[in-house]
Every structure is written in C-alpha cells, then in structure tokens.
Amino acid sequence: MSQSRPVMQRTSSPLSLKEQAYGDLKRLILSGELPAGTVLSVRQLATQLEMSRTPVHAAIERLEADGLVTLAPQQGVVVCELSIQDIANHYEIRQALEPYVMRRMAGKLSPEQIALLRDNQARNKAAVREQRIDDLVKIDADFHQLICHFFGNDEIIDVMQRLSDKVYHVIYRITQKYPQRASESFDEHQAILDALESGEAEKASQLVYDHLEDGLRRFRPVDSL
C-alpha cells in the first residue's frame, strides 16, 4: 500500500465523513495508488484514512455501485480491473456523444463560457510545463465536462461523468507513459476551442472525434502495464 499522506482535517458530521471517505478512496483508486487487483480490508482502509469503519464502509458501498471495487467473501475489498474492451466501449460512447455536442455548441458559446474554457487552457498549459500529472488529467476531463455542461443536457452530463470516472486512472497511466501526450492534448483542445468560437460546427465535431480516437489508440500498450 502507498505510504500514508497527511490527512486533511475531518469534520464531525457523519455525512461529511462519508463524503470525505468516498472522495479520498476514489482518488486513490483513480490515480493508481490503489492499483487494480489490490485487496484490502475495511479496517486497513479506515486506518489509512484515520476514520472509523462506519463512513469507510458507506464509501465502499458507493464505490462498488460505481464499479470501482467489489466485496469478495473471505477476501475483503478488491479494486476492480477494467479490461481494454471496457475502456474502448466507454470511449466509443464518448465518440458518439461529444461530436454531437460540439456540433450543437459551435458559435453559441457566451463570452463567460469562452472565458472559462480559456482559463482551463491556461491552467492546462501551466500543468503541461510543470508536468503535474494529477492536475493534467483533471484539467483535461474538465474541458470536456465544461462544454457538455454548457450544452445543458443533464443526461449527457451524467453519462460523461460516469465515463470520466471509469477511464481516469487509465488516462493517468497513459500520461505517465507518454508525457508528450499532454502537450498534444493541449494543442487539440485549443483547436477544438478555436473551432467552437468561430462557429465551425463540422470541424469542431471532427476534431473532438479525432482527439478521442487518438486516446483510444494508446490503450493497447497500457494493457501490459
């Protein structure tokens, strides 16, 4: 298991502790600090998070519903492994949804929305320069989530969020293995933003499709990691 990190100050609210446990464990799984196949007990996790078992057990139930862990009899909590086919399926759903969103949003972004996307790109550029992988992966996901949020379809937003959780840790590993991908992704995001601003609907749609396709092609080498 990874070395214990400084623990954030905990609140006394049971609901808050459940949320904190869920967030902490989810980050450990998605970042790869708790790799697929890791087997742990609720007691071990509670000790690492410096919490009682009650909020940790509630968090594990949510993570199980998310498909990130399973509860195995006689073993404990097992971090799930996503197959290459699972990941490919998720990306194919995004390739069906996101080009449609880009096509519909081209030329319709408000000045405030454009400012938020430009700020995302500025933070992305700084994270690329400093090779802050945790930030890079989150900022990358935020770019896509923002545009879908601007579109305003709650069902698409929900699907995107669930897919983002599933592939986060794989993107993290890809960024570690292929550092140049972060710079390439930044450039691709900028091209998408430019097309959205200029109202080039088909171009924006094709650019995001190609952007996702390039990420999909990199999954196969990661399978052996």
Q: Per-residue pLDDT tens for 61-87?
A: 999 887 889 988 777 899 988 777 877
Residue of 58, 66, 60 whose CA lies nearest to 18 = 58
- Other C-beta atoms lying within 10 Å of the C-beta of residue 201: 18
C-alpha distance from residue 68 to each of 22, 33, 62 (Å)? 11, 13, 9
DSSP 142-179: HHHHHHHHHHT-HHHHHHHHHHHHHHHHHHHHHHHH-T
- Residues 78, 55, 63, 48, Cα dihedral to 10°: -50
Answer whether residue 219 shows pLDDT above 80.
no
E strand map for the chain: 39-40, 69-72, 76-79
- Confidence band for 105, pLDDT divided at 50, 70 and 90: very high
- Classified as helix, coil or strand, 65 is helix
Query: Mean pLDDT in the chain?
Result: 86
* Segment 1-29 mean pLDDT: 67
pLDDT of residue 225: 43
Set out the domains of the chain in order of their start, with CATH numbers: 17-79 (1.10.10.10), 84-219 (1.20.120.530)
Q: What digits encode the pLDDT tens for the residues 129-169? A: 998 888 888 899 899 999 999 999 999 998 988 887 776 76
pTM: 0.76
131: left (phi over 0), alpha (psi -120 to 50) or beta: left
Report which of residues 112 and 14 the model is more confident about: 112
First-last CA distance in the chain? 18
pLDDT of residue 167: 67
